[in-house]
Amino acid sequence: MKSADPPADEELRLKSLKSLRILDTPPEERFERIVRMARRMFDVPTAFISLIDEDRQWFKASIGLEFTEISRDQSICAHAILDDETFIIADAATDHRFTDGPLVQGDTSARFYASCPLKLPNGSKVGTLCIVDDHTRILDHEDLALLRDLAATVERELVVMQSAITDELTGIYNRRGFLLAAQHSLNLCVRQDLPATLPIST
């Protein structure tokens, strides 16, 4: 599997992603609904919303996947965030970059792959909305527009999430934002098997 080079704005991109406080959070109906729509509209077995972290691709919502995250160096979506356009692979099984990747070799048996990068208002591409099929296929202009529309819906939800956890005037985390940040830190400690403490001042 050919790993993707990091984007030119990688430092800002990761900072923007982490500011969402979405990594390692439980499933949410608003994202699950979009994935279900994508699967039905394009009649594919697999659809997902993923976010590209520093060293992994994490799936916020998915249908048809047997894992919740994969290593970034095995991620097709890590290639997709390098461009503004929809990233399409007609047959991943014959593409030397991806033939031995987990999407192709795993239960998904991916052949056709299409994804739209998810951009925040500052231009950072933090993840993708993807559809995957187990046979080759082609998307026409109308299909591509529809996939981009669904990706724009995900982008709006991410912006709504971000605005809901910060004070509009100061940009500082509000109570909900603080709780999400704390939970995110705890989730990270659990995932990496690290101890966590909370100092209390008197």
Is pLDDT at 80 greater than 70 in this prediction? yes
**Placement of tokens 């499933």 in the chain:** 27
Return the sign of the alpha-carbon dihedral for residues 42, 71, 86, 117. Answer: positive
Ramachandran class of 109: left when φ > 0, alpha when ψ lies in -120 to 50, beta otherwise: left
Q: What is the CATH number of domain 10-164?
A: 3.30.450.40
More confident residue, 113 or 202: 113
Average pLDDT (130-156) is 95
The 10 Å Cβ neighbour count of residue 40 is 11
Is pLDDT at 197 greater than 70 in this prediction? no
In this structure, are residues 81 and 119 in contact, taking their beta carbons and an 8 Å threshold?
no
DSSP 8-class letter at 193: T
Give residue 102's pLDDT band: very low, low, confident or very high (50, 70, 90). confident
Distance CA 85, CA 31 (A): 21
Average pLDDT (5-21) is 94
Q: What residues contact residue 116 under an 8 Å CB cut-off, 6+ apart?
A: 80, 86, 87, 128, 129, 130, 147, 148, 150, 151
Ramachandran class of 167: left when φ > 0, alpha when ψ lies in -120 to 50, beta otherwise: beta
What's the pTM?
0.80
Residue ranges, CATH 3.30.450.40, the chain:
10-164
**Which of 4-18, 75-89, 119-133, 174-188 bottoms out in mean pLDDT, i.e. has the lowest?**
174-188
Percentage with pLDDT > 70 across the chain:
81
pLDDT at 88: 96
